[in-house]
A = this chain, B = another copy of it.
Amino acid sequence: MDRSDLITMAEWHTTVTPPALARLLAAARLPEPAGHRPAYRTLAGQVRTLVSEGRLPVGARLPAERELAAALTLSRTTVATAYEALRAEGYLHSRRGAGSWTALPEGARPPSDAMHPVPPDEQDQTLDLGVAALPAPQPYLGEAAARAVEQLPAYAAGHGCYPTGLPVLREAIARRFTARGLPTTPDQILVTTGAMGALHLVLRALLGRGDRVAVEAPTYAHTLQALRLGGSRLVPVPHAWPGGPERLPLWDVAEWQRVLRGAAPKVAYVIPDFHNPTGTLITEEQRRRLLAAARAAGTVVLVDETTAELGWGSADDAPMPRPTAALDRGAHVVTVGSASKLLWGGLRIGWVRAAPSFVRRLAVDRVYSDVGTPVLDQLIAAALLGDPLPDVRSHQLQRLRATAAALTAGLRERLPGWRFAEPPGGLCLWLATDGVSGSALAAAGERGGVRIAAGTRFGSDGAFENFIRVPLTVPAAAVPAAVERLAAVAARAAAGEHWPAAEDRPPLAV
């Protein structure tokens, strides 16, 4: 090992206290497999799961062996042996006298539902149900890219850096908002590097460490993790499920009112349009009531519209509720959106819609992070969001609709005990797994050739243990195989065989 490897250990400053780790371990407890198993293996497996799922950040400093042993009422030898096993697998780095830090082994995937670090032609044979991302709509993308290259010379004469975005794209995005019922001018738009780039900028501008943020429970896993890393205090507001898992949830507006009044969070983060992970669509009336409560509390409402144009169900014929920011101009609303789902994630085009003064503020901030979004991708997005959009959109929606039909039919047949609602749009099904641990399913899936997003990643403090999220982004033709693999893994996980003998293999190794 290059000595500069030590950087990872020496310089990171998140320290996990023994009680905090004990809590995380308790939340991550998996059903015990049949037969005897040494305690150190259980502990090592739990830490590995926490790191792999992103619930324990990479680079976090773990408690000293003695402290953790005391907190868990285990022997120090057990903890020392577990740490040794984690070191051998690459999940832990230690330096004598300094401590131990979590790590990812060589070749491991980042704990994420949105990427592989390998190109399509090098992918392994695992079926990836962790990712909710569509391929690019072809031939539209290729045609727009070729046209953008023709426009490039005019821009190549300049320096190519546009912190607020290319005017032509800001205009296209503003027109799109206006067409959806929210009059918007280009100076209200900031082009960002994907929706995550938009969230990163907005959260950094609005929040300091320790600030409270109200979130739907469940909600988008990456936003939760971004908030955790920024030191926010999460205030989860559970969805109301009056019809059980087979009906779509709603907001519990009374609970939102209570939280906004009582906790006065700085920010409330919501996904009202084809929510991730449940797919639900919130009514205008509920939106209005939440906005009124947020206005009274002085809370900024951060609306994530990444999936807002993905209505593929029968409700697609019904009129869509207007964008949330249109419903109470007196409230403080910041909207983020993305071309990653409607067009392609490989473009990395997202945006913020906010007051012009806040857009200017964010443009200054980003000069010290990514400076701007590449020119060519902005030209492509500007073209596709114009005249080709109706065709591109119906191409993508048709794909989602076909997969949803195949998946719901397949699940009902092969896994009749699992319960779910059919959403009117969005990218996912949210499945109640009939009491089987989602974490156990994820672990078993790594061995069974199917990557699964455990429900716990969409909540805090171990909530949603008996749920998983399944994306609608696999091709419909691949759905039967996906369902077969899910059923096989479910049978093994229910039998407690989620962590079989070949334990040395890291669960997320490529």
Contacts and interface: CB of A to CB of B under 8 A. Distances in A.
B152 A361 contact: no
A434 interface: no
A428 to B, nearest CB: 14
Contacts of A441: none
Contacts of A377: 374, 376-377
Contact of A8 (B10, B158, B333, B358): B358
Interface string A269-296: 0000000000000000000000000000
A138 B152 CA distance: 10
Given A7-B300, A110-B364, A194 B157 contact: no
B348 A372 contact: yes
Find the residue from A7, A103, A266 having the highest chain B CB count within 10 A.
A7
Contact of A142 (B153, B334, B371): B153
Nearest to A195: B371
A332 B10 CA distance: 10
B355 A4 contact: yes
Contact of A59 (B59, B167, B205, B298): B205
Contact of A368 (B167, B222, B346, B356): B222
A142 B148 CA distance: 10
Given A157-B135, A370-B193, A360 B119 contact: no
A413 interface: no
B158 A119 contact: yes
A149 interface: yes
Contacts of A106: 187, 356, 360
A200 B369 contact: yes
A345 B5 contact: no
A373 B345 CA distance: 10
Interface of A: 1-8, 10-13, 54, 57-59, 93, 103-104, 106, 108, 110-112, 114-123, 131, 133-136, 138, 141-142, 145-146, 149, 152-164, 166-168, 187, 193-194, 196-197, 200, 205-206, 208, 222, 225-226, 229, 266, 298, 300, 329-334, 344-348, 354-358, 360-361, 363-365, 367-377, 380, 473
Which 9 A-B pairs rank lowest in CB-CB distance, beginning with the nearest?
Answer: A160-B346, A133-B159, A136-B156, A115-B161, A120-B158, A346-B375, A226-B368, A193-B370, A5-B355
8 contacts: A4-B329, A11-B206, A117-B163, A119-B168, A135-B156, A135-B158, A142-B153, A348-B370
